[in-house]
């Protein structure tokens, strides 16, 4: 009996600390910070990030993506303060913010400059991070020759 109770409590795992996944599902809008100011994004990365974000939005049932443009540093600070759920700003996996926010698995390994590139999720948004990682893994699977 106690095992059934324990397993019943696991149905909602992983959880989002601030409930971004559910908020996006209810509002139908996924807000994403994007920054490619100054130095241009390495060729093809911006389009690649856009496809990933749109796939995440689709999986969440969002009707639209609201793109919030800005300076990457400021967007990551907003993300750290939980002001938005997701940032796609050509972020290397070794970004100093990787200790403060959730970093996805790399969507591009050994890209320009030999770096791995990731999307960033608000801290504590574990369900959202899992979904982003699943989208990235699914794209990687779909890209493999059959």
Is 2 a member of any domain?
no
pLDDT digits (tens, 9 = 90+) for 87-125: 998 889 999 999 999 999 999 888 878 889 999 999 999
| Residue range(s) defining the domain that contains residue 30 | 15-143
* The pair of three-digit structure tokens given for residue 14, joined into one six-digit string: 């992983």
Residue 96 and residue 127: Cα distance in Å, rounded? Answer: 23
Give 93's contacts (C-beta < 8 A, 6+ positions apart): 103, 106, 115, 116, 117, 118
| Domain tally, the chain | 1
User: Are β-strands 64-69 and 29-34 bridged in parallel, bridged antiparallel, or unpaired?
Assistant: parallel
Q: Which of these, 94, 74, 78, lies nearest to 86 by C-alpha position? A: 78
Sheet containing 64-69: order of strands: 64-69, 29-34, 86-92, 117-121, 102-103
Is 53 a member of any domain?
yes
Is 8 a member of any domain?
no
What average pLDDT does the segment 5-12 reach? Answer: 51
Q: Which of these, 72, 67, 128, 75, lies nearest to 103 by C-alpha position? A: 128
Say what the pLDDT of residue 66 is.
94
Is 91 a member of any domain?
yes
pLDDT reading at 41 higher than 60 = no
Say what the pLDDT of residue 80 is.
95
pLDDT digits (tens, 9 = 90+) for 56-84: 999 999 999 999 999 989 999 999 999 99
Between 133 and 114, the higher pLDDT residue: 133
User: Rounded mean pLDDT of the chain?
Assistant: 85
CATH number of 131's domain: 3.40.190.10
pTM confidence score = 0.82
Model confidence band, residue 36 (pLDDT cutoffs 50, 70, 90): low
Is 5 a member of any domain?
no
Say what the pLDDT of residue 114 is.
87
Residue 83 and residue 5: Cα distance in Å, rounded? Answer: 35
Between 123 and 4, the higher pLDDT residue: 123
């Amino acid at each position: 009996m106690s095992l059934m109770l324990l397993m019943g409590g696991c149905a909602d795992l992983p959880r989002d600390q601030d409930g971004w996944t559910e908020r996006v599902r209810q509002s139908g809008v996924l807000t994403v910070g994007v920054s490619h100011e100054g130095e241009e994004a390495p060729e093809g990365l911006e389009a690649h990030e856009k496809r990933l974000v749109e796939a995440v939005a689709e999986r969440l049932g969002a009707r639209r993506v609201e793109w919030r443009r800005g300076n990457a540093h400021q967007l990551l600070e907003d993300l750290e303060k939980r002001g938005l759920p997701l940032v796609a700003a050509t972020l290397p996996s070794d970004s100093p913010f990787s200790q403060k926010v959730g970093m996805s698995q790399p969507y591009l390994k050994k890209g320009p400059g030999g770096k791995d590139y990731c999307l960033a999720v608000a801290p504590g948004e574990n369900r959202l991070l899992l979904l982003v990682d699943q989208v990235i893994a699914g794209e990687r699977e779909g890209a493999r020759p059959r």
